[in-house]
Amino acid sequence: MNTSTSSRYFALAGFLPVGVVFLMISFEYTNYSAFAVAASVLALIAVAIFSFGVAVSRVIFVLIAIALVLWAALTHTDWMAATAIAAQRGAMVMALFTALTSIRNAAMTAPEIVECGRFLARQRSGLRYTALTIGGHLFAVILLYGSISLLGTLATESTAHEPDPEIRKQRTRRMMIAIQRGFASTLCWSPLGFSMIISVAVVPGARWSDAALPGVVSALMVLVIGWGLDALYKPSVKPSPRPVETERWITQLRPLLLLLGLVLVGVALLHTVTEVEVIGAVMSFIPVIAILWIAMQRPPVGFTRSANIRKRALLFVTRELPRYRGEIVLLFMAGFIGSLGAFLLVPLVQAQGLDLTTIPPWIIVAAMVWVVPITGQLGMNPILAVSLLVPILPSPEVMGIPPTALVVAITSGWALSGVTSPYTASVMLAASLGGVSPLRAGLGWNGVFVLVAGTALTLWALSLFYIL
């Protein structure tokens, strides 16, 4: 298959994830299983096509998934039902990623959002970390790790004119660390993030509305500890003077805050009024906001607003989504392998006579904070690790653990993995923009931070275990 032909196939395949979104939304609102089955079929076709254009590391996950299906078929009579459930989990992850990518697409061409990022990157030395870590948090709620790409690019742009290479290196490092930790803090609570949605899905009895406020406390701990450790870092050279930023914060941040408020309030209202799960509210509300946002932007010369919307939508489907085929394959496979792997492992654990209920529940809560970042060092995506390991545990009710405490522990560990695992998109993006290896951008930059923040988050999760 030549390049032009493969590109055409990938472009047409971009319609498949969009179809998965519509079908999964229909399933969430109607609970009609035929929609979930159809979404799973489209998702599998999309993965099959995209797998021909991704790195070998992604293809390995596909081969593992095929091996698990064969294992299940040879050892379980109900393997088809388990495979269907796993495909549905993968389709859900694909649909969520596609929906969130739509708003990222709208944000990248919004001048006010780009200028907001530049404003944060222009702050003076003593205020820059605080500006970028708070800004990174706000941007990441909407853009996920796209916030690292946007703010990181603007941050390196702001340091490009620094003549002293040592100052430029130190400034870039601190700015990227601030953005990383701002992003990671959203994983503790955001209803738009994979961390909270997957955790609530795999922990019986858990609800985002119960875990949101404790998750916000976790996020504040991540931000404050990160700021405190940065304050201890003293540059070995004095930075060159920079122009004083005179723009008002509220003026520059207003577009981002308005968008953030609209999204969070809209998702919460939709979740409350329709009683649909949070993931259904996110998947249905976010694309609508993305379309409206594009409609509000000034169209290119010669285009009406409606023509611009149609053009942007077509380019999003046929160009942008195919460019994310590696992420789409990886995320689908993480959800699929985690679900089917748990189905296969639970009987094995039971056959070994392992009674996890004999483990003190506080140890399980504490361990969940550390399991995700540790497995992240071994190459396991957090979606895979959580989907695979949590179902092996007895239900929170049986263990005597409040579901909220378990969710907070899991999302805390997810946040730590987001700044340390050299295999996550967030760390790889930071490494690329910072000009260092992923290992350096992960444990090298955030090793001490993870030890301090991990200890604090463990104590917080344990306090919830005893209080709730």
pLDDT digits (tens, 9 = 90+) for 142-187: 888 778 888 888 888 877 677 777 777 888 888 899 999 999 999 9
Are 401 and 361 spatial neighbours (Cβ–Cβ below 8 Å)?
yes
Query: Stretch 78-95: mean pLDDT, rounded?
Result: 95
List pLDDT tens digits, range 253-291: 888 888 889 988 999 899 889 888 888 999 999 999 999
Phi and psi torsions of 383, nearest 5°: -60, -45
Q: Which two tokens stand for residue 269?
A: 């209202």
**3-state SS of 108-169?**
CCCHHHHHHHHHHHCCCHHHHHHHHHHHHHHHHHHHCCHHHHHHHHHHHHHHCCCCCHHHHH
* Residue with tokens 């504490």, as numbered in its chain: 366
What confidence category does residue 245 fall into, taking pLDDT thresholds of 50, 70 and 90?
A: low
By mean pLDDT, which of 106-120, 274-288, 382-396 is the weakest? 106-120
**3-state SS of the chain?**
CCHHHHHHHHHHHCHHHHHHHHHHHHHHHHCCHHHHHHHHHHHHHHHHHHHHHCCHHHHHHHHHHHHHHHHHHHHCCCHHHHHHHHHHHHHHHHHHHHHHHHHHHHHCCCHHHHHHHHHHHCCCHHHHHHHHHHHHHHHHHHHCCHHHHHHHHHHHHHHCCCCCHHHHHHHHHHHHHHHHHHHHHHCCCCCCCHHHHHHHHHCCCCCHHHHHHHHHHHHHHHHHHHHHHHHHCCCCCCCCCCCCCCCCHHHHHHHHHHHHHHHHHHHHHHHHHHCCCHHHHHHHHHHHHHHHHHHHCCCCCCCCHHHHHHHHHHHHHHHHHHHCHHHHHHHHHHHHHHHHHHHHHHHHHHHCCCCHHHCCHHHHHHHHHHHHHHHHHCCCCHHHHHHHHHHHCCCHHHHCCCHHHHHHHHHHHHHHHHHHCCCCHHHHHHHHHHCCCHHHHHHHHHHHHHHHHHHHHHHHHHHHHHHC
Residue ranges of domains in the chain: 8-235+246-467
Mean pLDDT of the chain: 89
Residue 246 has pLDDT above 70, yes or no: no
Q: Residue 45 contacts by C-beta under 8 Å, 6 or more apart in sequence? A: 13, 16
Residue 235 has pLDDT above 70, yes or no: no
CA atoms within 13 Å, Cβ hemisphere of 439:
3
What confidence category does residue 236 fall into, taking pLDDT thresholds of 50, 70 and 90?
A: low
Phi and psi torsions of 188, nearest 5°: -80, -20
Residue 249 has pLDDT above 80, yes or no: no
List pLDDT tens digits, range 6-37: 677 888 889 999 999 999 999 999 999 999 99
By mean pLDDT, which of 141-145, 218-222, 303-307 is the weakest? 141-145
By mean pLDDT, which of 226-240, 324-338, 361-375 is the weakest? 226-240
What confidence category does residue 241 fall into, taking pLDDT thresholds of 50, 70 and 90?
A: low
pLDDT at 242: 55
